[in-house]
């Protein structure tokens, strides 16, 4: 028997548990043993799942009970020129997806943006948040706790920042609901998305709060952070990076390349992304920002679940008088993503294909100054989302959506 089969047999006999195999063999053999067990128990043939191109050990901090790797097609869109606060120059955006027509759409949008001289983008707010919830006796003690926190931010900062050499505590915002006190800690986590960093730092600060106030910690995450759930607080206050990208497309480019007019696109945006979203009670007033955020996240090793917040985007489109008095209206377009949570160090960005994708962008690792690489990544993704909005809205205005997916997505 192979090492993997021998290891699998030790699980079958009950000697070993499935999640402890790496204590008894190298990571690749442990993964192979799990595939042996799965193939014996199911009709699955896991040959391709097991045909991953990296040492399983490099995924040790990213996965447990590893059996192999999911392989998602990855494409590239662009190039596009970005005039950002941190991003500067031409970028090609790697995107991983299984949705046919998405790459073509973003590629068309970036091509149109490039024809207009590129897009501008700025990170306008930055702060990764963690909001623990405490129990108190009643509102009197809640007020006492809030008052202490407001007067002792330095003590909380000292405790939190003792756990990290990069993170900086920016603010602690209190919220009281009856005998519950929520403290929303916000950090500058530099080039890390910062959820582990913020969670570890906040845990340390919570000990200080418990020591000096009548509050007792109930949960380190009180859901007012708000991580990976649709929440107005993220759409309004932001989480991670709040980033906006915009562009003015000349009228003739709209007509030649997008097969419609600025007025038609602007109307589609108003009735669909603004009025339709409002009527739907949506937190995102956009067409498919989540498509670009999700595909960029998969490609570059971001936390895929945070697409939830990344979809908190508002798209605006306005027809503007053309500089050429006889020309058709130009199109002003913007996308504002309130909570884009990205990093270029840490988490999944360390994995092989993900770090290679960051190399395509020239944004792997820590930036100089610290935080500038993550800022640039946020700006480039925002331009990608802008491209996706332009192309999809044009396809809707020109009635090409269904045919595009019939041609490319089937
Ligand atoms: C499909 C197109 C781009 C055709 O658009 P077109 O103008 O007919 O294409 P074209 O052949 O004239 O090419 C124009 C440009 O498109 C790009 N392009 C064109 N073909 C390709 C290709 N094969 N691979 C890569 N890039 C491609 C490329 O940039 C090309 O320029 P060039 O480089 O040739 O100068 C257009 O019809 C389109 O974008 N449709 C919209 C599709 C889309 O956005 N799908 C994703 C969203 S669907 C969804 O998930 C969200 C939704 C709809 O449910 C959300 C909601 O509710 O709104
Ligand atoms: N814990 C939780 O509740 C949650 C965790 N996650 C997961 O958290 C992970 C992301 O956490 P994150 O803290 O970003 O990553 P890591 O846990 O991988 O930590 C990244 C570390 O890199 C170090 N570092 C080196 N250079 C830099 C730089 N230029 N800027 C910032 N940090 C730098 C910092 O160490 P140091 O701090 O020592 O200076 C930082 O803490 C993802 O895997 C995600 O899935 C997601 C949601 C919730």
Q: Which domain holds residue 285?
A: 74-125+242-407
Whole-model pTM: value is 0.97
What are the pLDDT digits (tens) for 181-198? 999 999 999 999 999 999
Please state, for a pLDDT cut of 70, what percent of the chain lies above it: 100
What is the model's pLDDT at position 326?
77
Distance 354 CA to ligand 2 centre (A): 16
115 plus 253 within the same structural domain = yes
Q: Is residue 54 part of a domain?
A: yes
Token pair in block for residue 269: 């945006």
- Rounded to the nearest angstrom, the distance between the alpha carbon of 131 and the centre of ligand 2 is 17
Cα(288)–Cα(229) distance, integer angstroms: 17
The predicted complex's ipTM stands at 0.97
| Ligand 2 and 257: CB distance under 6 A | no
To the query of whether residue 191 is one of the catalytic residues in this protein, the response is no
Distance 97 CA to ligand 1 centre (A): 14
405 assigned to active site: yes
Whether 276 and 305 have beta carbons less than 8 Å apart is answered as: no
Instruction: From 158, 186, 219, give the residue that closes a domain.
Output: 219
Domain identity same for 363 and 267: yes
Cα-to-centroid distance, 269 and ligand 2 (Å): 37
Q: What is the mean pLDDT of residues 229-245?
A: 98
Query: What is the whole-number distance in angstroms between the Cα of residue 124 and the centre of ligand 2?
Result: 22
Domain boundary among 160, 185, 219: 219
Residue given tokens 């708000």 in the structure block: 226
Provide DSSP, 279-323: HHT-S-BSSSHHHHHHHHHHHHT--GGGHHHHT-EEEEEEEE--S
The mean pLDDT value of the chain amounts to 97
Q: Nearest ligand to the C-alpha of residue 198?
A: 2
Residue 30 domain-assigned (yes or no): yes
Number of other CB atoms surrounding residue 174 within 10 Å? 18
Candidate of 193, 197, 344 to mutate for ligand 2, largest count of ligand atoms within 8 Å of Cβ: 197
- The distance from CA 221 to its chain's CA centroid, rounded to whole angstroms, is 19
Residues 246 and 302 in one domain: yes
- Is ligand 2 within 6 A of the CB of residue 344? no
Per the model's pLDDT, the better-predicted residue between 323 and 247 turns out to be: 247
Torsion of CA 342, 345, 351, 357, to 10 degrees: 60
Judged against a pLDDT cut of 80, whether residue 88 lies above it is answered with yes
400 belongs to the catalytic site: no
Q: Which residues line ligand 1 (CB under 6 A)?
A: 99, 101-105, 107-108, 111, 287-288, 291, 391-392, 395, 400-401, 404, 408
Q: How far apart are the first and last CA of the chain?
A: 43
**Sole residue written with tokens 């309004």:** 236
Strand partners, 336: 244, 314
For residues 110 and 158, state if they share a domain: no
Best residue among 346, 354, 373 to mutate for probing ligand 2, ranked by most atoms within 8 Å of CB: 346
Instruction: Please state, in angstroms and rounded to a whole number, the distance separating the CA atoms of residues 5 and 176.
Output: 56
| Structure-token pair, residue 99 | 């949705």
Q: At what angle do helices 372-397 and 352-361 cross, to 10 degrees?
A: 80
Contact assessment for residue 360 and residue 349, using Cβ atoms and an 8 Å cutoff: no
Q: Reduced to 3 states, what is the DSSP secondary structure of residue 194?
A: coil
Q: What distance in Å separates the CA atoms of residue 298 and residue 397, rounded to the nearest whole number?
A: 29
- Among all bound ligands, the one having the nearest atom to the CA of 226 is 2
Q: What is the CATH number of the domain that holds 363?
A: 3.90.770.10
303: closest CA among 403, 396, 402, 195?
195
226 closest CA partner among 296, 149, 312, 153: 312
């Amino acid at each position: 028997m192979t090492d993997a089969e021998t290891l699998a047999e030790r699980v079958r006999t009950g000697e070993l548990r499935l999640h402890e195999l790496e204590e008894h063999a190298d990571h690749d053999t442990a993964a192979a043993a799990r595939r042996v067990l799965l193939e014996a128990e199911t009709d699955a043939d896991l040959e391709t799942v097991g045909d991953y191109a990296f040492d399983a050990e490099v995924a040790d901090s990213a996965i447990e009970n590893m059996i192999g790797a999911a392989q998602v097609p990855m494409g590239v869109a662009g190039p596009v020129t970005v005039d950002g606060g941190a991003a500067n120059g031409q970028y090609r955006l790697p995107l991983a997806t299984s949705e046919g027509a998405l790459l073509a759409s973003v590629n068309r949008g970036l091509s149109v943006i490039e024809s207009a001289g590129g897009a501008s983008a700025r990170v306008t707010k930055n702060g990764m948040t963690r909001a623990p919830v405490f129990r108190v006796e009643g509102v009197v003690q809640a007020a006492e706790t809030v008052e202490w926190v407001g007067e002792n931010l330095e003590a909380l900062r000292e405790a939190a920042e003792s756990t990290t050499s990069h993170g900086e505590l920016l603010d602690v915002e209190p919220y009281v609901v009856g005998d519950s006190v929520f403290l929303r800690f916000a950090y500058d986590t530099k080039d890390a998305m910062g959820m582990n960093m913020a969670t570890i730092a906040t845990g340390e600060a919570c000990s200080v709060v418990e020591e000096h106030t009548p509050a007792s910690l109930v949960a380190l995450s009180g859901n007012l952070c708000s991580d990976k759930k649709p929440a107005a607080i993220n759409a309004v206050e932001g989480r991670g990076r709040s980033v906006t990208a915009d562009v003015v497309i000349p009228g003739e480019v709209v007509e030649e390349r997008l097969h419609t007019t600025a007025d038609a696109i602007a109307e589609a945006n108003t009735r669909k992304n603004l009025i339709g979203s409002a009527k739907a009670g949506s937190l995102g007033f956009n067409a498919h920002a989540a498509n670009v955020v999700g595909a960029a996240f998969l490609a570059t090793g971001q936390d895929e679940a945070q697409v939830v917040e990344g979809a908190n985007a508002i798209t605006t489109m306005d027809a503007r008088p053309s500089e050429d008095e006889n020309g058709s209206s130009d199109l002003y377009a913007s996308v504002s993503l309130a909570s884009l949570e990205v990093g270029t160090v840490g988490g999944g960005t360390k994995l092989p294909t993900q770090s290679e994708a960051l190399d395509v962008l020239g944004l792997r690792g820590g930036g100089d100054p610290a935080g500038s690489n993550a800022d640039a990544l946020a700006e480039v993704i925002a331009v990608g989302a802008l491209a996706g909005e332009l192309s999809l809205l044009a396809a809707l205005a020109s009635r090409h959506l269904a045919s595009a997916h019939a041609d490319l997505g089937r």
